[in-house]
Amino acid sequence: MSVQIEIPNSPRKQRVTNWEKYGWLYMRISGPLLIVLIFTHVFVNLFTGEGIKQIDFAFVAGKWADPFWQWWDVAMLWLALIHGTLGMRTVINDYTEKPKLRTALVGTLWSVSGALILLGTLVVFTFDPCPPTSNPDLLPSFCEAIASS
């Protein structure tokens, strides 16, 4: 009697790009970065200068006139939205059992997140700190100099 040997497993096929690894890495790198970015943001806005009372249109406009704070806020926006989207994607993968519904939900999630990232970036870089028809009292101090020149 001959012994029947099970057919050895054929190795699993490796996909060309493995996004799971990069997703995992992204979460680990963006997490600590976000802690630094967000807490510095909160500290600068609420604890330095006049604290919470200083926050108005002029304060935000003043910050966004400086490329440093523009890039700071854009970095926060991108890192936080992608971080959150990846997290939500995990929740969707956990709780949806139908593949079609899963694809639809993850697709919607990325579209919404992509739109928010685009809109946010557009606002930060095309922001006009001195809208011509506004009450000058509400605008940052440097607007007067620009208006008179």
Partner 1 sequence: MSDVKEIAEIPSFTVKLSIRRFDPEKSEEASWQEYEVEMHATDRVLDALHKIKWEQDGSLTFRRSCAHGVCGSDAVRINGRNRLACKTLIKDLDINSTITVEPIKGLPVEKDLIVDMNPFYQAYKDINPFLVANDKPEKERLQSPEDRARYDDTTKCILCAACTTSCPVFWTDGQYFGPAAIVNAHRFIFDSRDEEADVRLDILNDKEGVWRCRTTFNCTEACPRGIEVTKAIAEVKQAILRGRP
Closer residue to partner 1, CB minimum distance, 4 or 148 = 4
**For partner 1, the closer CB: 20 or 50:** 20
Nearest approach, Cβ of residue 70 and partner 1 (Å):
33
Sequential DSSP letters for 87-105: HHHHHHHHH--SHHHHHHH
Give me 123's structure tokens.
């606002």
| Residue 42 structure tokens | 């909160």
Minimum CB separation from partner 1 for residue 26, in Å?
11
Least CB distance from residue 21 to partner 1, whole Å?
Answer: 6
The conformation of residue 48, written as its DSSP 8-state character, comes to: S
Residues at the contact surface with partner 1, assessed by CB under 8 A: 9, 11-12, 14-15, 18-21, 23-25, 90, 93-95, 97
* CB-based contact 130:139 (threshold 8 Å): yes
